[in-house]
Amino acid sequence: MPADPAPISFGEALRFWLKLGFISFGGPAGQIAIMHEELVERRRWISEGRFLHALNYCMLLPGPEAQQLATYIGWLMHRAWGGIVAGGLFVLPSLFILIALSWLYMAYGSVPAVAGLLYGIKPAIVAVVLAAAWRIGSRALKHPALWVISVAAFAAILLHAPFPAIVIAAGAIGALGGRFAPQVFAMSGHGSAGERYGTALIDDDTPPPPHARYRPRVVLSFLAVGLAIWAVAMSFLLIAFGWDAVMTQIGWFFTKAALLTFGGAYAVLPYVYQAAVDQYHWLTPTQMIDGLALGETTPGPLIMVVAFVGFVAGWQAAAVHPLYLAGAAGAALATFFTFLPSFVFILVGGPLVEATHGDMKFTAPLSAVTAAVVGVIVSLAVFFGQHVFFSGGVDGFALALAAAALVALVRYKAGLIPVILVSGAAGMLYTLMR
């Protein structure tokens, strides 16, 4: 059994969160898989039970669950600044990369240089999502009843059931199960993680650190600070530009998007598409699709496509040059207002979640939610697969590339980044040779 891990300094954690910001490819499922491998299996900063407990809470929130999970773990380890650094570095590399790519896109009209690379990356993303479902499901689905919940969630998503309804239904089933069959739901997500990986720095039985304990005054202070930051930012935009200006409307719209949309990026994107294209006319449908493609090729949450939307909106509305500064400002505002609520949710709700750890009344519903999430992750792979493999006929090369990537990830435990890079290179070579 590996030795118990030593305490982690803030500097060491900061270096890891910065690295994560640059390697967090694969959408929420892939990002959660990376954090699980790095923090639970390899570094043992947090136990699997505590990891899944935090993940289940983040799944219930509006906003990007992977970024919120990083914020939660950073906060648990190093107080509020630890959470802010972890969550911020999860987003900032992607923001800067997308600003650069958006400028190239708007300045030159297309991105042919990445077409072949993207063609190879898309099948790898399908494999990454399936591998994440396998990794989480193999540990979370420890009873046939949990398999039933997972399959039911998969079917419900395919039938276009709202994600919040699936989460609520799973939580209700878990609550009943925790009362009448606690042994079923107590098994979910735990197993013998300690035996597999060794004792974690934040283990199943580690009490919450002092800063993570629920204190009403501290919780209310974080809520007040978050609301004040939002109010100051919106007031500045209103005074500087007026209510009808694009910059102000970017702030207002993405505040609503952050608060009113559940279910991760794929639930949010239709709402963003409808507003940005049909309501505000910031982008054309083609530009929105191209922005999604750019978002899939960069690290960070897929919802970072909002940076592309903000960039194009600012660029189109700019009355003076240089246009790229207006675009960068729009991208930064869209990102700021999209992610600000996520930090507030973690800093305000984290102490309440920590207080419920080990309490069957709370852990059983969350275990059922984990089972449902496995089914939802598989449905994302199906969604991707339809567009990657069967758009305009069967794409045999893409299918073969995805199968090879899946075998590399699951059978040979290959690293995510090498798999994505090799897949992108293969796609580029295949495109050039056709």
User: What are the helix (H) ranges across 242-322?
Assistant: 246-260, 265-273, 285-296, 305-317
Q: Please check the confidence at residue 163 and state whether its pLDDT lies above 80.
A: no
User: Which pLDDT score, from 0 to 100, does residue 261 have?
Assistant: 62
Domain count, the chain: 1
Rounded to 5 degrees, φ, ψ at 46 are: -145, 145
Would 114 be classed as within a structural domain? yes
Q: Tell me the residue range of the domain where 69 lies.
A: 1-200+227-434
Report the chain's mean pLDDT, rounded to a whole number.
Answer: 84
CA–CA distance from 13 to each of 25, 64, 70, 73, 83 (Å)? Answer: 20, 21, 11, 10, 11
Would 212 be classed as within a structural domain? no
Per 3-state DSSP, the chain is made up of helix, strand and coil in percentages (nearest 5) of 80, 0, 20
Cα–Cα nearest to 202, from 8, 2, 1: 8
Taking residues 11-18, report their average pLDDT. 94
Would 216 be classed as within a structural domain? no
- Residue bearing tokens 């199906």: 382
State pLDDT tens for residues 363-391: 778 788 878 878 877 887 787 788 788 87
Q: What angle do CA 123, 27, 149 make, to 5 degrees?
A: 95
State pLDDT tens for residues 260-296: 665 556 556 667 878 888 889 999 887 887 787 677 6
21-30, 155-164, 223-232, 372-381: which is most confident: 223-232
In the chain, % of residues over pLDDT 90: 37
pTM of the predicted model over 0.85: no
DSSP string, 18-55: HHHHHH--SHHHHHHHHHIIIIIIIS-SB-HHHHHHHH
Cα–Cα nearest to 401, from 421, 383, 376: 421
Would 179 be classed as within a structural domain? yes
Q: Tell me the C-alpha distance between 93 and 371, whole Å.
A: 32
Would 50 be classed as within a structural domain? yes
User: Which pLDDT score, from 0 to 100, does residue 190 have?
Assistant: 46
Q: Which long-range contacts (CB under 8 A, 24 or more apart) does 110-114 make?
A: 111/290, 111/294, 114/294, 114/297
Cα–Cα nearest to 61, from 51, 72, 50: 72
Would 31 be classed as within a structural domain? yes
The region of weakest confidence among 10-14, 74-78, 197-201, 219-223 is 197-201
Greater confidence, 87 or 175?
A: 87
State pLDDT tens for residues 177-195: 888 888 777 654 444 444 4
Would 193 be classed as within a structural domain? yes
User: Which pLDDT score, from 0 to 100, does residue 314 have?
Assistant: 93
Would 120 be classed as within a structural domain? yes
